[in-house]
C-alpha cells in the first residue's frame, strides 16, 4: 500500500495501544544500522498482500522514534537484502516520514504473485503469524502448490463424492426444509421429485453417493466422514494461571448446527448489559453485535478450504481480552482482503457449497447465507453502529483470519467529551469516531475516512466531514482532493493524548546526481528532461512527487514520461489519471544506468 501521513499516524497510535507489532507490520529501531530482515522480507513476500517494515521506532520505548542518522544507507541495506537475501527477489517501495520530528523509513514489501511463491531465505520459506515469522510446514507448502494447480485447473473439492455415503446419511429435517426452499426458489425444481431435486442441486451424485458439500451442509453427522468439518472454540488463559484454556469446545454436526452452536458459545463467553429500547422496555445488549459475529463465522464455515490437504485443519474461534479471532483453513480466493465488504468484493471458494447454503435453513427458518455477497458489508456496518473498530482481515495464503475487536472506538473520556461538545447533534457512529480522533490531534481526509469506515464512498465521506464543519466542530483546510479536516479551533484547547505528528519527506534519501550540463545520457536523447527523470525514477514516483522534486510543470512531466514509456525504459504502475499511479525504470531502463548508480538502489 502507499502510506499517507494520516494512515501512518493511525498505525503508530494502534502500535502504541497494542504494545506490539502486528501480522502485517514489523517495527525495528535500526539505531545501529540496517538490521537483518531476511526472514521478515521472505515472510511478507509469501503473504498475498505483503506487509510493511518500519525502521526508526523503538518498540521497547513505546514505539518512540530513535532519530535515524543515515536514511540512504538504511534504504540501500534493505534493498540489498530484498534483492540478494530472498529468492526470488522481493520488490520494496520506500517512503520517508517524520514522526514527532524524527525521520522514519517505511518499507512496503510487495507480496509475490502466486506462481512465484514460496519465497525462500537461507533455503527455508517463512510465513507471518501474529507478530513473528515462522518456517512454513510441509503441509503449508503443499497447500501453496495446490493453490497453483487450482489457479489453472480448479479441483472443486465440494463436488467430490464421499465414498460409502447415501441418502440415509442426510438429516431428514434439514433435507425437508432444503427441498421446500429450493422449490420456492425455482420453477424448474418444483416439477422434480425429491431424489431428482437433490441430484440437480448437487447434494447427491448420479451414482447415489453424497457430495462433500451435501454431507457438510445437510448430513446427520459430517464428522464421521471428515472430522475436520468442525469448530474448535476456546478462551485462552494468561501464562501462569495454571490452565491453558477455558470453555474449550469441539463443536460438531452439520454446517447450520455448527453456526448455531458457535453463536451460543460466543454469547456465553462475552458480556451483556441491560439497555432500553425506544419504548422504554429493558433489553439485553451484547458486548459484540451478534449480527456481525454471525456473518463472519458463517463466512469462515462456508468459505473454508475443503481440499484433502486441509483434513487436519478446523475452523478455530478464540476469545481474548481485546478481540475475537476466527480462523479458517485456506486463504482468500479470487478476491483480496482490501476488497472485502466493497462492491464486487466477493468470490465463492466452494461454489456448490455456497449455492446450497443459500437454500439451507437454520432452526429459526433463516438462511445460512443470503447469497448476495453482502455478509461482510453487514458485519462492518453492525460493528461501526456499535461503536467498535472495523475488523482486521489477515490473509496468509494458507489460512484466513478475522480479528473482531472487543474494545470500543471511544474511551469513557471521549464519550464524556462528546456529550459536552456535541450534545444533541445527532452524529453518526462514524462521525463520533472521527471527532474523537480529532480530539487526539488526528487530521482526516476523504480517503482516510473511506479507508477507516468502508464501505463508504467519496460522496458519503465528504458529507460526514462537511457536516462536522457546518456544526463548527471541525475546520477544513485546502481545496478539492487536498482538503484536510481537523478539530475546530474553539475546541482545540481540550485535546488530550495527542497523536504523533507525522509528515512525509519526499526527498529525504539523496538521489543519484543528474548528469552535468552538456552531458547526455540515453534518457536525455529521448526527451529534454530525460536525464533528470531517469535519475529520480530508480524508485517508484507519482507525478506529484516528480513535480515537487524537479520543479517541472505537470504537462512537462507527463510529456517526458510518455516519451520514456514509449521507449520502454519507464513503466507505469496503476492507471492513467489516478493520483497514486507511480512510474519507475524498467529493467531495460536500469541497464542504461552506470554500474556505480545501480548499486545505490
Residue 497: is its pLDDT beyond 60? no
Residue 348: is its pLDDT beyond 80? no
Going by C-alpha positions, the residue among 555, 586, 581 that lies closest to residue 569 is 586
- Top-ranked range on mean pLDDT: pick from 216-220, 237-241, 454-458: 216-220
Residue 413: is its pLDDT beyond 70? yes
Task: Give Cα separations from 338 to 142, 319, 359 (angstroms).
Answer: 26, 24, 28
**CB 512, CB 535: distance < 8 Å:** yes
Average pLDDT over residues 375-386: 83
Confidence of residue 601 (pLDDT cuts 50, 70, 90): very low
Average pLDDT over residues 538-547: 82
Q: pLDDT tens digit string along 292-313?
A: 999 999 999 999 999 988 888 9
DSSP of 382-406 = HHHHTTBPPPEEEE-SSEEEEEEE-
Q: Which three cell numbers stand for residue 587?
A: 529493467
Task: Give Cα separations from 278 to 282, 283, 427 (angstroms).
Answer: 10, 10, 18
Q: Which of 204-213, 219-228, 282-291, 400-409 shows the lowest mean pLDDT across its residues?
A: 282-291
pLDDT at residue number 43: 95
pLDDT at residue number 335: 60
Confidence of residue 147 (pLDDT cuts 50, 70, 90): confident
pLDDT at residue number 596: 40
Confidence of residue 599 (pLDDT cuts 50, 70, 90): very low
Q: Alpha helices of 162-240 — where are they, by DSSP H?
A: 172-185, 187-190, 194-200, 212-218
Average pLDDT over residues 33-57: 94
What are the chain's domains? 5-136 (3.30.950.30), 157-224 (no CATH), 231-405 (3.30.565.60), 412-500 (1.10.10.10), 522-598 (1.10.10.10)
Beta strand segments in 159-277, E: 231-236, 245-251, 272-276
Cα–Cα distance, 312 to 582 (Å, whole number): 43
Q: Which residues pair with 129 in a beta bridge?
A: 132
pLDDT at residue number 424: 77
Residue 597: is its pLDDT beyond 50? no
pLDDT at residue number 164: 94
Listed in sequence order, the residues at least 6 apart from 230 whose beta carbon sits closer than 8 Å to its beta carbon are 223, 250, 251, 252, 258, 314, 315
Run of H or E residues at 57: strand 57-58
Query: In angstroms, how far is CA 177 from the centroid of its own chain?
Result: 37
Confidence of residue 186 (pLDDT cuts 50, 70, 90): very high
Percent of the chain with pLDDT over 90: 40
Q: pLDDT tens digit string along 22-32?
A: 888 999 999 88
Q: Which of 50-64, 334-348, 420-434, 462-476 shows the lowest mean pLDDT across its residues?
A: 334-348
Residue 343: is its pLDDT beyond 90? no
Q: Alpha helices of 119-254 — where are they, by DSSP H?
A: 138-152, 172-185, 187-190, 194-200, 212-218
- Return the higher-pLDDT residue of 428 and 158: 158
Q: pLDDT tens digit string along 81-119?
A: 999 999 999 999 999 998 888 899 999 999 999 889 999
Confidence of residue 339 (pLDDT cuts 50, 70, 90): low
Cis? peptide before 154, omega within 30° of 0: no
Listed in sequence order, the residues at least 6 apart from 196 whose beta carbon sits closer than 8 Å to its beta carbon are none
pLDDT at residue number 372: 67
**CB 225, CB 213: distance < 8 Å:** no
Cα–Cα distance, 410 to 86 (Å, whole number): 42
What value does the mean pLDDT of the chain take?
84
Residue 257: is its pLDDT beyond 60? yes
Average pLDDT over residues 34-56: 94
Cα–Cα distance, 202 to 208 (Å, whole number): 11
Residue 275: is its pLDDT beyond 60? no
Run of H or E residues at 316: strand 315-319
Confidence of residue 321 (pLDDT cuts 50, 70, 90): confident
| Length, in residues, of the chain | 601
Confidence of residue 550 (pLDDT cuts 50, 70, 90): confident
Listed in sequence order, the residues at least 6 apart from 484 whose beta carbon sits closer than 8 Å to its beta carbon are 443, 444, 445, 476, 477, 478
Q: Which of 258-262, 347-351, 450-454, 564-568 shows the lowest mean pLDDT across its residues?
A: 450-454
Amino acid at each position: 500500500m502507499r502510506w499517507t501521513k494520516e494512515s501512518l499516524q493511525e498505525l503508530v497510535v494502534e502500535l502504541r495501544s497494542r504494545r506490539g507489532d502486528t501480522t502485517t507490520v514489523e517495527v525495528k529501531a535500526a539505531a545501529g544500522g540496517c538490521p537483518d530482515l531476511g526472514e521478515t522480507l521472505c515472510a511478507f513476500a509469501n503473504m498475498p498482500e505483503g506487509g510493511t517494515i518500519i525502521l526508526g521506532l523503538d518498540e521497547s520505548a513505546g514505539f518512540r522514534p530513535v532519530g535515524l542518522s543515515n536514511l540512504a544507507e538504511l534504504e540501500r541495506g534493505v534493498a540489498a537484502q530484498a534483492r540478494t537475501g530472498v529468492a526470488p527477489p522481493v520488490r520494496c517501495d520506500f517512503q520517508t516520514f517524520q514522526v514527532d520530528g524524527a525521520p522514519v523509513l517505511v518499507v512496503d514489501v510487495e507480496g509475490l504473485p502466486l506462481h512465484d511463491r514460496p519465497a525462500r531465505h537461507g533455503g527455508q520459506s517463512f510465513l507471518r503469524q501474529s507478530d513473528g515469522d515462522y518456517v512454513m510446514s510441509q503441509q503449508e507448502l503443499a497447500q501453496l502448490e495446490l493453490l497453483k494447480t487450482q489457479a489453472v485447473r480448479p479441483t472443486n473439492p465440494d463436488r467430490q463424492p464421499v465414498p460409502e455415503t447415501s441418502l440415509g446419511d442426510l438429516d431428514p429435517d434439514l433435507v425437508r426444509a432444503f427441498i421446500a426452499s429450493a422449490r420456492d426458489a425455482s420453477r424448474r425444481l418444483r416439477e422434480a421429485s425429491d431424489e431428482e431435486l437433490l441430484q440437480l442441486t448437487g447434494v447427491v451424485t448420479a451414482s447415489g453417493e453424497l457430495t462433500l458439500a451435501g454431507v457438510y451442509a445437510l448430513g446427520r453427522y459430517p464428522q464421521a466422514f471428515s472430522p475436520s468439518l468442525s469448530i474448535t472454540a476456546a478462551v485462552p488463559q494468561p501464562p501462569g494461571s495454571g490452565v491453558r484454556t477455558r470453555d474449550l469446545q469441539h463443536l460438531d454436526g452439520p454446517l447450520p448446527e455448527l453456526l448455531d452452536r458457535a453463536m451460543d458459545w460466543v454469547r456465553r463467553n462475552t458480556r451483556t448489559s441491560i439497555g432500553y429500547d425506544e419504548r422504554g422496555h429493558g433489553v439485553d445488549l451484547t458486548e459484540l453485535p451478534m449480527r456481525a459475529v454471525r456473518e463472519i463465522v458463517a463466512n469462515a464455515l462456508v468459505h473454508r478450504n475443503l481440499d484433502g490437504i486441509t483434513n487436519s485443519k478446523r475452523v478455530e474461534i478464540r476469545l481474548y481480552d481485546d478481540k475475537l479471532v476466527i480462523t479458517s483453513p485456506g486463504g482468500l480466493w479470487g478476491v483480496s482482503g482490501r476488497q472485502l465488504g466493497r462492491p464486487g468484493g466477493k468470490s465463492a471458494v466452494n461454489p456448490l457449497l455456497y449455492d446450497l447454503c443459500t437454500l439451507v435453513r437454520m432452526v429459526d427458518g433463516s438462511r445460512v447465507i443470503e447469497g448476495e455477497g453482502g455478509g461482510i458489508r453487514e458485519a462492518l456496518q453492525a460493528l461501526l453502529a456499535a461503536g467498535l473498530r472495523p475488523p482486521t482481515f489477515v490473509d496468509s495464503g494458507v489460512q484466513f483470519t478475522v480479528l473482531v475487536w472487543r474494545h470500543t472506538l471511544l474511551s469513557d473520556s471521549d464519550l464524556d467529551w462528546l456529550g459536552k461538545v456535541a450534545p444533541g447533534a445527532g452524529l453518526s457512529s462514524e462521525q463520533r469516531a472521527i471527532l474523537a480522533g480529532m480530539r487526539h490531534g488526528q487530521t482526516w481526509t476523504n480517503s482516510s475516512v473511506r479507508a477507516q469506515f468502508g464501505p463508504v464512498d467519496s460522496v458519503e465521506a465528504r458529507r460526514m466531514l462537511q457536516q462536522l464543519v457546518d456544526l463548527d466542530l471541525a475546520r477544513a483546510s485546502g481545496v478539492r482532493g487536498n482538503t484536510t479536516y481537523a478539530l475546530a479551533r474553539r475546541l482545540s484547547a481540550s485535546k488530550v493524548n495527542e497523536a504523533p505528528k507525522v509528515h512525509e519527506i519526499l526527498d529525504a534519501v539523496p538521489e543519484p546526481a543528474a548528469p552535468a550540463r552538456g552531458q547526455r545520457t540515453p534518457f536525455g536523447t529521448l526527451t529534454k528532461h530525460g536525464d533528470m527523470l531517469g535519475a529520480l525514477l530508480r524508485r517508484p514516483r507519482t507525478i506529484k512527487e516528480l513535480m515537487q522534486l524537479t520543479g517541472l510543470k505537470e504537462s512537462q512531466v507527463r510529456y517526458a514520461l510518455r516519451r520514456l514509456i514509449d521507449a520502454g525504459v519507464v513503466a507505469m504502475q496503476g492507471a492513467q489519471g489516478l493520483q497514486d499511479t507511480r512510474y519507475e525504470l524498467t529493467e531495460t531502463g536500469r541497464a542504461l544506468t552506470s554500474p556505480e548508480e545501480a548499486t545505490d538502489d
